[in-house]
Structure 1
Amino acid sequence: MKTDQSIDVKLVEAYKAGDKKALAALVKRWHKLFCDKAYWLVKDKDVAKDIAQDSWTIIINKINQLQEPKQFKYWAYRIVCNKSTDWLRLQSKNKKNTVSYDVEIESRDTKYSENEQLKLSLLKAVNELPNNQKIVIRLFYIETYSLKQISDLLQISVGTAKSRLFHAREKLKRTLKNKDYEN
């Protein structure tokens, strides 16, 4: 990771000094990861590509404000997450929710083990959470970010991240208890 940070530091500093090739190297290094991160949040490949592209515009325009080039990864991921969250919020407000988080379970022909059923129920319950809680749950459990990293990424306080995680867990407990694991 230190090596990755040092590469980013060199590229960011070179770009700030006017080296356009450094920007091309940063884009080559990070663009796919930005698309993947956006897709992970919005679940639409085309939208994820647009979000990554919009994020690059912001990164290029504000890179001179980045005081610690070793923080490029987290700074840039925060921009991607914010753009993704903005898109999700807009979709929710317009009630044109084109993002599909539903889990399709074809249990007619297939007999699932109890463990598989529990996993599917849990995934479905996570998908029913509000977006702000869903994002925190996924960042904490799937991406294994710390609460501090989540708060930095989403630009919220650590307390807010803890609260969202707590409330998401409580909703998941209630949902799974009420559904009795959908057996």
Structure 2
Amino acid sequence: MSRASKSEEASDGSSVKDDDDLVQRIQAGDSRAFRALFDKYHRRAFAVAMGVVKNEEDALDAVQEAFVKVHKNIHKFEGTSSFYTWLYRIVMNVSIDHVRRGSRRKNLDFDERSLHQESEVAGDGALVPNITDANPGKAALRRELGDAIQAALQELPEHHRAVIVLREIEGMSYEEMAEALDVPKGTVMSRLFHARKKMQASLAPYLAGEDVSED
């Protein structure tokens, strides 16, 4: 799913209005409304959690804990940001807490193709070259690159990993990321720039071998 399509639901006015209506019903004690919000967002929340904790069991725990926090604190939600943004801020914070507590980690089947997209920042190109799998040799290299990306992502500091996950996996805009992480947009852009540079340094052998994708 592209960035535009991923962000479409959250940015569309009717969806935000639907969320606001559900929140108001939850605040009034309607348990069915909470179930509706859970059904709408739990898969996307799981994708964000998996990008941080690297373990399916921990990701499920993080999502469950996040929605418990949502239910407990829904009366504090005032609508100054979208529910979508408020939820992902909670999911990200809970997921990072899991990592800090030494959660078990396993590899995530990270889709390196999402990292080929160009940044909105001028001069910041694709994170890794596009290596096709037109022949067995290239397919093997692509698998090796996927493993290298997983390892590089795991080595990032938590705040750098968070912006990579939100940008490259969840497809959030800079504005959405700033709201979700509760930091200025400039901080988000700076973190993403440095995170990508660290990833590029870790993936230098593959960047140097970009011509392998050409016949």
* TM-score range normalised by the length of the shorter chain: 0.7 to 0.9
Q: Closer, same or farther in 2 for the Cα pair 1:153/1:147, shift >3 Å? A: same
1:98 alignment counterpart: 104
User: Is 1:132 the counterpart of 2:159 in the alignment?
Assistant: yes
Q: Closer, same or farther in 2 for the Cα pair 1:5/1:122, shift >3 Å? A: same
Scaled by the length of structure 1, the TM-score of the pair is 0.75
Q: Closer, same or farther in 2 for the Cα pair 1:9/1:70, shift >3 Å? A: farther
Secondary structure class of the residue paired with 2:193 = helix
2:196 alignment counterpart: 169
Where in structure 1 are there 5+ consecutive unaligned residues? 92-96, 104-109
1:146 alignment counterpart: 173
Question: In 2, Cα distance between the equivalents of 1:31 and 1:114?
Answer: 34
Question: In 1, Cα distance between the equivalents of 2:38 and 2:143?
Answer: 41
* Contact 1:8–1:70 (CA under 8 A) maintained in structure 2: no
User: Is 1:39 the counterpart of 2:66 in the alignment?
Assistant: no
Residue 111 of structure 1 aligns with an amino acid whose one-letter code is G
Q: Closer, same or farther in 2 for the Cα pair 1:120/1:36, shift >3 Å? A: closer
* Contact 1:8–1:26 (CA under 8 A) maintained in structure 2: yes
2:138 alignment counterpart: 112
Q: Deviations over 1:42-96 (max 9, x none)?
A: 22222122111111221112111111187111111111111001111222xxxxx
2:21 alignment counterpart: 10
Give the CA deviation at 1:178.
Answer: 5.8
- With 118-127 and 9-18 compared, the bigger mean Cα shift is at 118-127
Give the CA deviation at 1:11.
Answer: 1.2
Q: Deviations over 1:88-111 (max 9, x none)?
A: 1222xxxxx6313488xxxxxx52
Give the CA deviation at 1:40.
Answer: 3.0
Question: In 1, Cα distance between the equivalents of 2:143 and 2:42?
Answer: 36
Which has the larger share of helix?
1
Residue 173 of structure 1 aligns with an amino acid whose one-letter code is Q
Question: In 1, Cα distance between the equivalents of 2:199 and 2:33?
Answer: 45
Scaled by the length of structure 2, the TM-score of the pair is 0.66
Give the CA deviation at 1:157.
Answer: 2.9
Question: In 2, Cα distance between the equivalents of 1:131 and 1:161?
Answer: 13
Matches within 5 A, 1:6-85: 6-68=17-79, 71-85=82-96
* Same amino acid, percent of matched pairs: 29
Question: In 2, Cα distance between the equivalents of 1:162 and 1:53?
Answer: 30
